[in-house]
Amino acid sequence: MTRDVQTGVVSLLAQSVVFGKPAHEAVADEAARRGLRRIFVTSTRSLALLGNGPLQKVIEALGPRYVGQFTGIGAHSPDHDIVAAANAARQAGAEVIVALGGGSVIDATKAVLMCLWDGIDNVEAFRAAHPKFDGVSTTELGRERAFAVPTTLSAAEFTALAGITNPDTGQKMMYRHRDAAPQVVVLDPAATLDTPLRLLLTSGIRAVDHAAEAFCSPTANPMTEAYALNAARLLSKALPAMKAAPEDLVQRQLAQFGMWQGILSSSTGAGTGASHAIGYALGASYGVPHGETSCISLAPTLRWNAEVNRERQDVLAEAMGHPGQPAWQVVRNLVCRLESPVTLGDVGIAASEISRLAERAFTYAPMRNNPRPIASPNEVAEILAYAT
């Protein structure tokens, strides 16, 4: 008896990853090495308000190469913030945009590049351009590129995908182009020290979500398994250690390596499933912070899917240090140890909202890749019932 040979395509990004080096030094060195003269920075208001935080250090290190900043990017990357940032970067004549922040800032910066390439200067034009940035085109549209200094564990810096929210509809739209992925990623654990611990830890669960859903994907392969299981091992140890000792840079760096491997696992042709689809709906329609969506959605999704992939989930649970326990329980216990939200009620969503939330989540593409087929919002509601 023979098994079918797996087929697939893995598209790798052209990135340089600098780790362990102070972020401001790494950014300045890379800018100098590449001969860049006009560097624009995107970030958040909270980081801009710090007296001597990572944003201020990067700007100082850039010296005369620094040409401006936009620090008004909101959670879940609202499209009006994208256009405002693009207009500011265009006026500054930016060659490279350094995204310093979490997933919202980094995703927003990818979309800013698309605006610059396509001459987009208003929200209506940005929304109309969505079909152009569907991930299929490989045409080089412009010279502007991005660097990224992540301050969370969302892993947005390792993809060419930008999840952008339309505030008028409450829908998250996916914009893609290969050149939108940051050319340089700087993983500096010290750059995460000013991030609120709850935000950082919940973004770590998002990283676990990447690994878990990729490993359990129907299209997972040996490359997926290698990255996903090691990511699960690293994160399940590093996240509780970070909570116990918040100043421990070694544990923060281990979490960054786990995050990196987790997103690589979902880039091996595996993809994600219902947990991510539910997360998109929780974020775009209900304003739940990015990492907290995975705290709520991953364990229920694993529990519902166990009917078709329990043996595979057992391997995941063992990698996370708890052989013999259901994977969904291992994930839920980890979230509880981090004192993060585990139910819809924990983030202010009543059980009466499940039907509406299920309908929203069902529209997102990852639902079609779930290990246990989902034919209607009714099955999504079954998953969400485990989150009450």
Q: Domain limits of the chain?
A: 16-191, 196-385
CA distances from 312 to 5, 6, 51, 233, 375 (A): 19, 18, 48, 15, 23
Name the band, by pLDDT with cuts 50, 70 and 90, for residue 227. Answer: very high
Q: What is the dihedral of CA 356, 358, 364, 365, to 10 degrees?
A: -160
Residue 311 above 70 pLDDT? yes
Cα separation, 101 vs 194, in Å, equals 10
**140-164 average pLDDT score:** 93
Beta carbons of 43 and 73 less than 8 angstroms apart? yes
Name the band, by pLDDT with cuts 50, 70 and 90, for residue 350. Answer: very high
Cα separation, 258 vs 205, in Å, equals 11
Residue 53 above 70 pLDDT? yes
Residue 137 above 70 pLDDT? no
Name the band, by pLDDT with cuts 50, 70 and 90, for residue 134. Answer: confident
Residue 344 above 90 pLDDT? yes
Helix (H) or strand (E) holding 170: none
Name the band, by pLDDT with cuts 50, 70 and 90, for residue 2. Answer: low
pLDDT for the residue 7: 85
Going by C-alpha positions, the residue among 255, 266, 306, 286 that lies closest to residue 350 is 286
Residue 281 above 60 pLDDT? yes
Residue 136 above 60 pLDDT? no
CA distances from 277 to 23, 188, 305, 349, 356 (A): 33, 30, 14, 17, 14
Cα separation, 163 vs 165, in Å, equals 7
Beta carbons within 10 angstroms of residue 127's beta carbon: 16
Structure tokens at 31: 């800018």
pTM assigned to the model: 0.95
Least confident of 16-30, 164-178, 236-250, 332-346: 164-178
Bridging pattern class, strands 161-166 and 171-176:
antiparallel
What fold does the segment set 16-191 form as a domain?
Rossmann fold (3.40.50)
For the chain, percent of residues with pLDDT exceeding 70 = 97
pLDDT for the residue 8: 83
Bridging pattern class, strands 66-70 and 96-101:
unpaired
Beta carbons of 176 and 134 less than 8 angstroms apart? yes
Helix (H) or strand (E) holding 73: none
Helix (H) or strand (E) holding 218: none
Residue 1 above 60 pLDDT? no
Higher pLDDT, 153 or 178: 153
The amino acid at residue 250 is V
Please give the class, per CATH, of domain 196-385. mainly alpha
Beta carbons of 201 and 102 less than 8 angstroms apart? no
**Which phi-psi region, left, alpha or beta, contains residue 18 (left: φ > 0; alpha: ψ -120 to 50)?**
beta
Find all residues with CB under 8 Å of 42, minimum gap 6, and list them: 69, 70, 71, 73, 85, 89, 97, 98, 99, 100, 101, 105, 108, 109, 112
Structure tokens at 18: 């600098």
Least confident of 139-143, 193-197, 218-222: 139-143
Find all residues with CB under 8 Å of 282, minimum gap 6, and list them: 288, 292, 293, 296, 297, 347, 349, 357, 361
Residue 274 above 50 pLDDT? yes
Residue 256 above 90 pLDDT? yes
Arithmetic mean of pLDDT over the chain: 96
